[in-house]
A and B are shown apart, each in its own frame.
Chain A
Amino acid sequence: MYRYTEFDKAFVKSRAAQFRDQLERWESGQLSEDDFRPLRLLNGWYVQRHAPMLRVAVPYGELSSAQLRILARIAREYDTPSQSVYHSAMDAQAKLGSTQLPTNTAHFTTRTNVQFNWIPLDKAADVMDLLASVDMHGIQTSGNCIRNISCDERAGVAVDEIADPRPFAELMRQWTTLHPEFAYLPRKFKIAITGATEDRAATDWHDVGLRMIRNNAGELGFRVSVGGGMGRTPMIATVLREFLPWNQIMNYIEAVVRVYNRYGRRDNKYKARIKILVKAEGEQYIDDVEEEFRQIVELDGGPHTIPQVELDRVTAAFVAPVPVIHEGTVASMDAAASARFDRWVRRNVASHKDAALRIVTLSFKRLGQAPGDASAEQLERLADLADRFSSGEVRVTHTQNIVLPWVAAADLQALWEEASELGLASTNIGLMTDIIACPGGDFCALANARSIPIAQALADRYQDIDELDDIGDIDVHISGCINSCGHHHSGHIGVLGVDKDGKEWYQITLGGADGSEGSGKAQPGKVIGPSFSATEVPDAIEAILGTYRELREHREKGRYELFIETLRRTGLDPFKAAANGARAKEEVPA
């Protein structure tokens, strides 16, 4: 992992002190509510449905065990509402049908950050100080600026890697942090980067998507695409450069962002993302970026060209740790346990570029907790697992799970046993119950409908592991509103919460893809018809899956066609018919 220098540490502490000063001026009335809001957002502080929400940055998804312990402490000591806040929240949610709202909990997000839902604003500055003690912060996790850079969760350990993207992600973290020119863009701006052949970072869905490649001469560079995004106008990024030399990446991104800062729309926040500019201007936008890039290099002297020595310095911070391999033997398993363990290894464990190691995904999708939620106790125990089995390091995935990147093959059984006790060994990575979901209408002020109860109803229904295996790889994504934090557009099955006459309804989309190999080229799903009630959604999805099982064909090597493959082959009609047939007869959507 990158280790913060004294400069980095002092910088984060200065930012925490600056935020404390702003908070105090707001509390004393020197800063108005309107003037304070953009400042707190730039530090990750929202005010949500019931309470403030803090979003903590996890740069390119990497966390150390020391950081996990501080997150656990924040969950335990600060993520607690007052009785009156909690009671009024429960009263409000009870009207929708929710019977519980977790407290003292951290939530892993689809942009690999961590959120807390209950910290009172008057504790905000103390929490920022605590985060700064382990080099963490909320800088640029909200606001109309360049957000946290997300990355392949297998960066630096993947077998299909062309180059480790983390040194570039770190250089970009530094360059984007408090960039004075780009703090007040027309709208938020998200960058994703991968160095592998498989796109595990949904790069084509980002404002800037970067894929490391080698050209015919063997030189390293980036394929640069711009203008992807979800929200109410889902758009797949346009390729601006098939190959950009690696040392030019920051000059080029500066050109992309400067043209956007100058010409992006500011009159309508729903049309303010860069995707709208790229779509509206087309070739003109590309020409403007290329001309700006030329001038940055030729007239400004290429101020952000990365020197080899700087890349080497940052790369040296990402040396592989000496693997932890435990002595001794593990207890022998009975046949049933052995079968469960083998199944978990096949599903949740991946090969590593070091043959003695494995990449393990711990599932945060299980009964009784929302997707991506971790209690204070679980965070604490996760830190212990990271120390014992993964050289003290974990990665947050955009599918809201946790990867242990440095596990010795010989330790898999011991890890599995401990993760099972913690409830983190669900054998479901990539399967039906590995659902992506935003916090939705239980917490979020923007949501039109709740996401968590839908995710829980589906999880309840699909607990039979043989059935899950039979359904196979499938992406189910749930968003509580069109802002799409639950990535419903890229789900093979997407569920979108909508509000009709003050009631919760859900649109179902089919055929979306995040751009990974299994899903095919990134594309938004298509709405299959009028929206469904909350109780109809699981029935409709069951009918859709039933249709898949009827229509799927055998493929080579004895495997079935995947859900998405069948859907592409047959088209949406049979699935639409099945879903519509599952509607409750007495309920008619508006």
Chain B
Amino acid sequence: MNDTPRLRVIDACAAQADDQKLVLRLPNDADPMALANGPDGLTGVERIELHFPHFTDGRAYSQAYLLRRRLRFTGDLRATGDVQIDQLLQIARTGFSSAVLKEGLDAADASRHLEQFAGFYQRDLAGNQRTA
């Protein structure tokens, strides 16, 4: 098993009830760096939601990197939209901490997809690195 931190994978229907926090929703063409320089910055933000309009649109991966690595955002970073089982590993590795699966998919299927590799070449934001 690799050391990818547990990504909280949420069924689409369960996500509706999970809405108590101060949430910032960013479209995938927004610049996270501009946000940090804005008047309020990220102060008080408990969760940032990044959107995948289609799973093949990879802009939110770079946003996640910038938020986690460069802006040191420590709250919940959530993937929404066309989130498929086969993207969860990348989502975990770019610094997301939760993901809302596309409607109809079962979060119970997720865990084995997060454990398919013993390690990766890149030192990514999930703390993975090569083990040999």
Contacts and interface: CB of A to CB of B under 8 A. Distances in A.
A184 B81 CA distance: 15
B132 A5 contact: yes
Given A5-B132, A39-B86, A14 B117 contact: yes
Contacts of A351: none
Nearest to A17: B116
Contact of A180 (B56, B59, B63, B89): B89
Interface in B93-114: 93-94
Contact of B62 (A15, A144, A261, A266): A261
Interface in A448-500: none
A261 B63 CA distance: 10
Interface residues of B, number: 30
B121 A180 contact: no
A11 B90 contact: no
B13 interface: no
A523 to B, nearest CB: 32
Contacts of B131: 7
A41 to B, nearest CB: 10
B59 A262 contact: yes
B86 A22 contact: yes
B22 to A, nearest CB: 25
B116 A180 contact: no
A295 B70 contact: yes
A303 B123 CA distance: 8
Nearest to B29: A262
Interface stretch (A72-80, A171-179, A331-339, A340-348): A171-179
A178 B120 CA distance: 8
Contacts of B31: 262
A52 B132 CA distance: 35
A181 B132 contact: no
Interface string B56-76: 111101110100011000000
A586 to B, nearest CB: 49
Number of chain A interface residues as a range: 35 or more
Nearest to A261: B62
Interface in B118-132: 118-124, 130-132
Contact of B58 (A5, A17, A175, A183): A183
A35 B44 CA distance: 37
Nearest to A37: B56
Interface in A1-51: 5-7, 10-11, 14-15, 17-18, 21-22, 31, 35, 38-39
A258 interface: yes
Contacts of B117: 11, 14-15, 18, 178
A300 B116 contact: no
B55 A184 contact: yes
A184 B61 contact: yes
A146 to B, nearest CB: 12
B61 A14 contact: no
A181 B121 contact: no
A309 interface: no
B62 A35 contact: no
B56 A175 contact: no
Contacts of B89: 180
A139 B59 CA distance: 21
B124 A300 contact: no
Contacts of B118: 7, 10-11, 14
A460 B63 CA distance: 56
Contacts of A295: 70
Nearest to B128: A180
A419 to B, nearest CB: 38
Contact of A14 (B55, B93, B94, B116): B116
B94 A181 contact: yes
A385 interface: no
A359 interface: no
Contacts of A21: 116
Contacts of B119: 7, 11
Given A11-B117, A14-B118, A22-B86, A184 B57 contact: yes
A189 to B, nearest CB: 12
A243 interface: no
A184 B84 CA distance: 14
B65 A181 contact: yes
Given A7-B131, A18-B116, A180 B70 contact: no
Nearest to B63: A262
Contact of A35 (B58, B59, B84, B93): B84
B70 A181 contact: no
B59 A261 contact: yes
A38 B84 CA distance: 12
B62 A180 contact: no
Nearest to A179: B122
A183 B90 contact: yes
B12 to A, nearest CB: 16
A17 B112 CA distance: 12
Contacts of A303: 123
Interface of A: 5-7, 10-11, 14-15, 17-18, 21-22, 31, 35, 38-39, 144, 174-175, 177-185, 258, 261-262, 266, 295, 299-300, 303
23 contacts: A7-B119, A7-B130, A7-B132, A14-B116, A18-B116, A22-B86, A31-B86, A35-B84, A38-B56, A175-B122, A177-B121, A180-B124, A181-B61, A181-B65, A181-B94, A184-B56, A184-B57, A185-B58, A261-B62, A262-B31, A262-B63, A300-B69, A300-B70
